[in-house]
Amino acid sequence: MTAELGHFALVLALGLACVQGTLPLLGAPRNRTRWMALARPAAAGQCLFVTLGFGALVHAFVSNDFSLAYVAANSNSHLALHYRIGAVWGGHEGSILLWIQILALWSVAVARFSRGLPDALVARVLGVMGLISVGFLCFLLFTSNPFDRLLPAPPDGRDLNPLLQDLGMMIHPPVLYMGYVGFSVAFAFAIAALLGGQLDAAWARWTRPWTLLAWALLTLGICLGSAWAYYELGWGGWWFWDAVENASFMPWLVGAALIHSLAVTEKRDSFKSWTALLAILAFSLSLLGTFLVRSGVLSSVHAFASDPRRGLYILLFLAVVIGAALALYAWRAPTVGLGKRFALFSRESLLMLNNLLLAVAAGTVLLGTLYPLALDALGLGKISVGPPYFDAVFVPLTMPLLLLAAVGPVSAWKRASVRGVLQRLARPAAAALVFVVTAGVTLVISWRAALGLALAAWLLLGTGADLLRRLWHQPKGTGWWARLGPVPLSYWGMVAAHAGLGVFAIGVTLVNSLETSNELGLRVGESAKLGDYRFAFTELKRIDGSNYLAARGRFDVTRGEERVATLYPERRIYVVQQMPMTEAAIDRGLWRDLYVSLGEATQDGRWLVRVQDKPFMGWIWAGALLIAAGGVLAAGDRRYRAAVRSRKAQAPARSDAELAVAQLASFGAQAPTID
């Protein structure tokens, strides 16, 4: 019964989404206040009904209602409660519903925090988001209904894929989707601006916090997924250039370009049409990513044939959304104008290079991901493009990015002085060089690794030096705590994100060049050596889990006489699906991770053991977290809130003249922030 109510709630949500996606959009150009005013209540109502539908599905999982085909395929009565909740988005149908739920939440957030914006803009933004929601709700209701009944109902479910029975995997999809779907806000703002013909600095200021937040969440989501692969897949890899990973990485790259380009549009009223294009592309790639992962195209392009409705719908939906957005862009963008000019060497030109590099990087990932699919679909042969391709193209693209990331923030807008920038960066450069030579001599690394380290050190030192300079150059007698006051949050965000990039680069470089591993067959009582470490296999125990059986090994790790750690890797068999699982054990540390995994056993009691020493592994996650924190910090900057509030104060009587004055004032307010 609850399931039918949930289904019905989703149908009602579709009705409200239709209202939200049509009347406000039609009302905006005709200046129909009442039509436009429908946008907010429609978004709120839609969110309410989607939440009811989502709640009904959660209820079905929690109460083990195996008469629902989707629940029966993805859950089991022996599954722990928190995994049953996580299983709601463990399959296709639930993932799409989660997507819709998050879109509804973003819509409500936009409706709530846009009080100060012009009514027509809000109507258009929410209208576009409503249309996206219509597309997804139709997809869910007509091709992937999670509430389909299964008659007769099976006594128990087929269980959640054991790989997904993990806390990281429970929160990874929602966070990732919050990022993906968050780009729909930037997309909707871009479409609204193109429709209304108002693509200016104020538009960029409204879009920026949303985009920053979405991008930070996407960063966090990718990081969670990668960390999951690291400890759960069992063999210590953390990034495979797998199509599923690439699907989330492409919007991240374009999103990174977008937040930099938005900065130029906000501060200098430049790059306007490019920024709008990036906003459209970022969301298009998010859509593409969702569908690549969710449509089954990846497991086979011919999966379309098994459910032609789904595949066809996806292709049509992608074509309509991306096609319509790009057509609108081609039609309206030429009227936007080029914006303010800038010199050959200026912060604008550096950010342009940043955008170029990030866009090319996204393009290379797109090519490597779609080319094999395209060949296969056209029947031209089966090929695969693996990590060697991505490594070959990515390293040369990342190096200039690291180099420029330290230069950009110390260069002035409009026209920067080469000598001034050189002066500011000379000391960090020298320090980075000294540091790397020392590190190179002590760690004995290849020239490539040394170059990576040098660039990372350069970025960290350059960013740190600029931060110190900012804190230093303030009126004499200012206390240290008071000195932090005038430094805006958006600047802290930049510092955190760039420093995070440096930390991340150090981690990647050192893990890739210094990691060691050893694989061998061990009996209980024997031990493995890896560098200075000795891994003694001292014990093997049988463990009965709630829905699995496991063999648990005990490894005492020593270094000389010193005891380092005791690790308990497991080899599990999940009972329902008869699937083996390698549950690795990791001793994490600031300078290195020790990683032990237990493979299959031979007849004579030898276990395949893989031991790994991964130096600086934790720096990869720390860097990614810093990058995400940077996005959040920047999104919280005071001036975004101030921008909305000042609009609100003028809201009651808004004549054209007042608007013009307000815009002048906002330009004036912006001037002092320019270096």
Partner 1 sequence: MRARHQRLVLLATGLVALAISVWLVLSALKKNMVFFFTPTQVVAGEAPSQQRFRLGGLVEGGSVQRQGDGVTVSFTVTDLAQRLPVRYRGALPDLFKEGKGVVVQGRLLSDQVFVADEVLAKHDENYMPPEAAYALKKASADGKTAGLPR
Footprint of partner 1 on this chain (CB under 8 A)?
Answer: 161, 163, 233-235, 242, 296, 299-300, 302, 341, 343-344, 349, 352, 356, 360, 363-364, 367-368, 371, 381-386, 388-389, 392-393, 396-397, 519-522, 579-582, 597, 599-600, 602, 606-608, 610
> Coil, helix or strand for 235?
coil
The residue (of 232 and 466) whose beta carbon lies closer to partner 1 is 232
In Å, the largest CA–CA distance within the chain is 88
User: In sequence order, what are the beta bridge partners of 580?
Assistant: 573
The C-alpha atoms of residue 629 and residue 492 are separated, in whole angstroms, by 10
Q: How far is the CB of 267 from partner 1 (least distance, A)?
A: 18
- On whether the CB atoms of residues 42 and 14 are closer than 8 A, the answer is no
Find, among 173, 16, 150, 12, the residue nearest to 98 by Cα.
173
The C-alpha atoms of residue 349 and residue 70 are separated, in whole angstroms, by 52
The residue (of 11 and 356) whose beta carbon lies closer to partner 1 is 356
Q: How far is the CB of 382 from partner 1 (least distance, A)?
A: 4
Find, among 89, 106, 5, the residue nearest to 49 by Cα.
5
The residue (of 124 and 610) whose beta carbon lies closer to partner 1 is 610
C-alpha dihedral sign at 444, 447, 448, 454: positive
The residue (of 32 and 158) whose beta carbon lies closer to partner 1 is 158
Q: How far is the CB of 374 from partner 1 (least distance, A)?
A: 12
- What CA dihedral angle connects 386, 390, 392 and 395, to 10 degrees? -150
Q: How far is the CB of 94 from partner 1 (least distance, A)?
A: 15
Give the pairing of strands 585-587 and 592-601: antiparallel
Q: How far is the CB of 395 from partner 1 (least distance, A)?
A: 11
Task: Return the H-helix or E-strand segment holding 548.
Answer: strand 548-559
The residue (of 489 and 579) whose beta carbon lies closer to partner 1 is 579
Name the token pair of 318. 């992608």
The C-alpha atoms of residue 617 and residue 588 are separated, in whole angstroms, by 8
Q: How far is the CB of 609 from partner 1 (least distance, A)?
A: 8
The C-alpha atoms of residue 491 and residue 472 are separated, in whole angstroms, by 15
Q: Tokens 């997809």 — which residue?
A: 139
In degrees and rounded to multiples of 5, residue 581 shows phi and psi of -140, 135
Q: How far is the CB of 581 from partner 1 (least distance, A)?
A: 5
The C-alpha atoms of residue 266 and residue 272 are separated, in whole angstroms, by 9
Q: How far is the CB of 195 from partner 1 (least distance, A)?
A: 29
Q: How far is the CB of 76 from partner 1 (least distance, A)?
A: 14
The residue (of 40 and 610) whose beta carbon lies closer to partner 1 is 610
Could you give the angle at which helices 347-377 and 272-294 cross, rounded to 10 degrees?
Answer: 30
The residue (of 57 and 160) whose beta carbon lies closer to partner 1 is 160
Q: How far is the CB of 313 from partner 1 (least distance, A)?
A: 20
Q: How far is the CB of 365 from partner 1 (least distance, A)?
A: 10
The residue (of 177 and 390) whose beta carbon lies closer to partner 1 is 390
The residue (of 431 and 608) whose beta carbon lies closer to partner 1 is 608
- On whether the CB atoms of residues 158 and 73 are closer than 8 A, the answer is yes
- On whether the CB atoms of residues 243 and 365 are closer than 8 A, the answer is no
Q: Tokens 């990036």 — which residue?
A: 278
The residue (of 395 and 484) whose beta carbon lies closer to partner 1 is 395
The C-alpha atoms of residue 667 and residue 675 are separated, in whole angstroms, by 15
The C-alpha atoms of residue 572 and residue 584 are separated, in whole angstroms, by 11
Query: Where does 242-307 have alpha helices with state H?
Result: 243-268, 272-294, 303-306
Q: Nearest 5 degrees, angle CA 190-CA 225-CA 369? A: 65
The residue (of 15 and 363) whose beta carbon lies closer to partner 1 is 363
Q: Tokens 């931060």 — which residue?
A: 467
The residue (of 368 and 462) whose beta carbon lies closer to partner 1 is 368
Q: How far is the CB of 384 from partner 1 (least distance, A)?
A: 5
- What CA dihedral angle connects 228, 231, 236 and 241, to 10 degrees? -10
Q: How far is the CB of 612 from partner 1 (least distance, A)?
A: 12
Q: How many CA atoms lie within 13 A of 512 on its CB side?
A: 18
User: In sequence order, what are the beta bridge partners of 593?
Assistant: 614
Q: How far is the CB of 182 from partner 1 (least distance, A)?
A: 28
Give the pairing of strands 562-567 and 548-559: antiparallel
User: In sequence order, what are the beta bridge partners of 64?
Assistant: none
The residue (of 243 and 643) whose beta carbon lies closer to partner 1 is 243
Q: How far is the CB of 521 from partner 1 (least distance, A)?
A: 2
The C-alpha atoms of residue 175 and residue 228 are separated, in whole angstroms, by 13
The C-alpha atoms of residue 268 and residue 339 are separated, in whole angstroms, by 8
The residue (of 343 and 662) whose beta carbon lies closer to partner 1 is 343
The C-alpha atoms of residue 249 and residue 406 are separated, in whole angstroms, by 23
The residue (of 148 and 519) whose beta carbon lies closer to partner 1 is 519
Q: How far is the CB of 170 from partner 1 (least distance, A)?
A: 19
Q: How far is the CB of 603 from partner 1 (least distance, A)?
A: 8
Task: Return the H-helix or E-strand segment holding 563.
Answer: strand 562-567
The residue (of 41 and 525) whose beta carbon lies closer to partner 1 is 525
- On whether the CB atoms of residues 74 and 66 are closer than 8 A, the answer is no
- On whether the CB atoms of residues 69 and 60 are closer than 8 A, the answer is no
The residue (of 109 and 393) whose beta carbon lies closer to partner 1 is 393
